Structure 1
Amino acid sequence: MTAAVIDLASYHDFTTNPHRAYAELRAKGPVHRVRFPPPDHDSDHYLVVGYEAARAALADPRLTKSSTGIDVALPDEALIGPHLLTVDPPHHTRLRSLIAREFTARRVQALRPRIQEITDGLLDGMLAKGSRADLVEALAFPLPMTVICELLGVPDLDRERFRQLSNEATSPTTEEWEETVFVALAAYLDELIEAKRALPGDDLLSALIRTRAEDGDRLSHEELRGMAYLLLIAGHETTVHLITNTVHALLTRPAQLAALRADPGLLDGAIEEGLRHEGPVENSTYRFTTEPTEIAGTLIPAGAIVVVSLTAADRDPGKYGAPDDFDLHRAPQGHVAFGHGIHFCLGAPLARVEGRIALASLLERCPDLALDGPATDWRPGLLMRGLRRLDVRW
């Protein structure tokens, strides 16, 4: 059957609490034709909100990631270059194998001491300034930003300017500004890549420039630019919100916070439950139908945009009991906070390591940590889910 259009702008609290809208949609069925609030309202989308349907859609080869042949303009694909979220096999297979040769589990594990050192330094600075702070500014943003910059070999990045561009790229406030942002990002990344070619180091970006497959294949300039863009933005945005959202969940649930303080063995569970309960990526990037495609009983026409709501899937009561509760003792395995299938987030291990170190260190250094007023400043947009500031005291 076909689906009537549901205007999500009718949910006036959609930015601060999208869970209400997703729950009502989920109760009516796993797939809906929707129109998102501005500025993402230029066309209708098919939104997948059920857990089983979401996992199936994320792994469905009929849903393409490339907009080639589809009447949709994606600024990152057109102005930045191809990357793992804009291509399909065999191009995706080739890119991922070249990246995986360098972005290894060993490289991530080797970063642990440095991540701890950066975290300690940031907490030293936060505590030295008094008894109150915005946790986003003090820890959640600078930690992953520093880690990804050092990993890629760009320590001199103008981080505040990049943060502005990154925020606008992932949560655009106007359609006009969106193209300007990607033009600026493309120009910056071009300069960065050329500088690395001229003076390579032992960092990840230099390694990606050098790496070759057994048959001599290597990344083109456009592919390097696309991958640098993806690693820089995804490499910090997701972890900022993983840290912030998990701390916020704990500070608004004293019993759960007390349980974690009493048993540090629950730390890994806290990170996984944080990912499930309020994951950093609210909705997947676009997928497209190249032919009429049925998903969970809904017939989607060719040329349609399909969005998978990771947030909605991870609060499906058919998968998780009492899904709106934050429960440290839950077994949240199987959540889709980092996606599913061939597009599962390559940086998930790094985000988990950073989140674990940040949360453990924060709770140890601030035994009486508490919210300093209500947290209401949620990021607009459909891609990222997180607070723009989190005021805390100790």
Structure 2
Amino acid sequence: MNSRFKNAMLDQNHGRGAQSNPTNQYTAQQVESDVEFYEHLHLSGETLKKKTTFQKVSPKTIVNKVSSPDLPFGYSMNPYQGCEHGCIYCYARNSHEYWGYSAGSDFESKILVKNNAATLLRKKFDSKGWTGHPILLSGNTDCYQPVERKLEITRSILQVCLEYRNPVGIITKNAMILRDLDILKEMAEMNLVHVVLSITSLNEKLREKLEPRTSTSGLRFNAVRRLSECGVPVSVMMAPVIPAINSAEIMKIAEKAAENGAQSLNHTIVRLNGVIGQLFEEWLEEHYPDRKEKVLNQIKDLHGGELNDSRFKTRMRGEGEYADHIAKMFVLARKKYGLIRERTELDSSLFRRAGDSQLSLF
């Protein structure tokens, strides 16, 4: 590869997690073009040759049934498909192939937007079979990715949840969640919300490479503190732990979580499902070529010799001696810093439909 072409590729990928755009395995569904309704540049003001595009989609439903025993919620909701945060390890990258895109740079630069999410949620809540089950925002891609600042789809979803008194859990890597503190405070007073801030590293140089368009760790810990001070139950999730990349930061992150009022600390182990293995290897070659083989071998040690494990119960925790060591480190960290408060079960008994609230006046 000549230097001119290589430099052009680096400029193209600046501010992105993926170094390439692998072919979609579902080639028959490959998308050749999309309807761009506006372009969004990152809040830092950087200029990219490959701008992010957004496409409106109109799904028929917004609430998804979760069958995984690894998750504490039975339902999830995702206002966006694809995620501009660009986390290189994200397991959701593969889901972008179902829409005809690549799990690589397409995942973080071609975002599908569910503008009708709040309307669909009202329809779901008004259905006779719905009884106020807790819903996870987001089970796949981040509901507070950068474009949410302008579109406010997540905020509209929270407004519907508050109106119907439907409990919701939120996991995010973006401090933008503080924008909706007014809604979250009111929901917290009724035990209708729990927030998890996912924080992977205190090293900003690493964070910029690993998850380039997320909030800084400082801003995320500030969000933890603000939420806690306002009575919103908040925890920290170190997700994922990556051997020889951020695995040495467990105790430091635990200490910061406690300092800022987090109730608990949890973790997941990196797993490179599908094409993500290829993308992560390219990322290592670009940023940490000297430790590439070490990182990959240690990941394999966590998953029985493979880069991925799809089995429930073990895929997020790993197995073997190294996985046990990491788990024990978290037990020690939680005990040392008091991050052991049990999560209170959210209250589904307050759920009400629009008509129910009118009848209550009589």
In proportion to residue count, which structure has more helix?
1
Common fold by TM > 0.5: no
Q: Give the alignment's TM-score, normalised by structure 2.
A: 0.25
Larger RCO (CA within 8 A; separation ≥ 6): 1
| TM-score, structure 1 normalization | 0.24
